[in-house]
Structure 1
Amino acid sequence: MKTIKQLMSSPVVMATVETTVEKLRILMNTHDVGAVPITAEGNDAEIIGIVTDTDLRNVKDASLPVMAVMSTKLCFVNADDSGATAANLMLKNGIHHLLVTEDGRLAGILSAVDLLKLVASKPVTFQPHLFFV
């Protein structure tokens, strides 16, 4: 089974608490990412939150700072862990993104879509009891 390091997105696109929702939407769109860790000061500062595309979906006031919409529920996983470990952590916590660490530093982000791509890449065997209507 592939490790998280083989599945994660890296380098990580970051933002600070002062970033507005509007600027964060542009940043996420430009880099084609679904989640951005938020720091208090800069890329080397401690991560204090995360904003996902779901968090931004219903935000009407684009001038709000991301601090107003970010989640502070952060889940970390090690880069050498398996995809199964990550999937279990996502299910247990009801989340779709994990922050990936390696040697004590942020190394990437793993999304539920990354795990789905892993599953979809496996050969499918015919199972006559499964069908679509």
Structure 2
Amino acid sequence: MRVKELIKDGVISCKSTDPIMCAVSKMYTNNVGSVVIIDEDGKPTGIFTERDLVRIVAEGISLNTPLSKVMSKKLITANPDESIISAAMKMLENNIRHLPVTESSRVVGIVSIRDILRSLMAQELSYP
């Protein structure tokens, strides 16, 4: 199975100049655990996750702070044609739970560790 089979429609994103509250609001509204941070050209520059939110709350950082100051800038990505096992290995090796899927420098989707686990469980349960 390939990563592209796990991608859902729509990528939730904010710009790096947007305040943290933009990401928090979109995460809550869309019931997701991360938001991709994009530049003015729509290219990914980072990611903001639930873990980042916990950190900024613990550090007392204002929700009006620009995302560029608090986002995770080391962006680990997957290719749509990559196997889900390869994507899972990237997530484990980098201790991350959300993996943006990119094609031609654009984010085309995001997969979570939960998406991968569901897929692997479905495959396992479908075998006799």
Q: In the alignment, residue 53 of structure 1 is paired with which amino acid?
A: E
1:75-114 CA distance string (max 9 Å, x none) = 1211111110101111122211211123553210111111
Work out the CA distance in 1 between the residues paired with 2:103 and 2:23. 26
Q: 2:50 aligns with which of 34, 45, 53?
A: 53
Which residue matches 2:113? 112
- Asked whether the 8 Å contact 2:44–2:106 carries over to 1, the reply is no
Deviations 1:57-90 (A, max 9, x none): 2423222211221001111211111110101111
CA distance in 2 between partners of 1:123 and 1:107 (Å): 29
2:94 matched residue in structure 1:
93
Q: Contact (CA 8 Å) 1:7, 1:114: kept in 2 or not?
A: yes
Give unpaired runs (5+ residues) of structure 1. Answer: 126-133
Alpha-carbon shift at residue 124 of structure 1 (Å):
8.5
Letter of the 1:118 partner, please give it.
S
Q: What residue number does 1:35 align with?
A: 34
Opposite residue 73 of structure 2, the aligned amino acid is T
Unaligned runs of 5+ in 2: none
Percent of residue pairs bearing the same amino acid type: 34
8 Å contact from structure 1 (residues 20, 64) kept in 2? yes
Q: 2:34, 2:93 → 1: CA distance?
A: 19
Partners of 1:103 and 1:22 lie apart in 2 by 29
CA-atom RMSD in angstroms = 2.0
Q: Count the aligned residue pairs.
A: 122
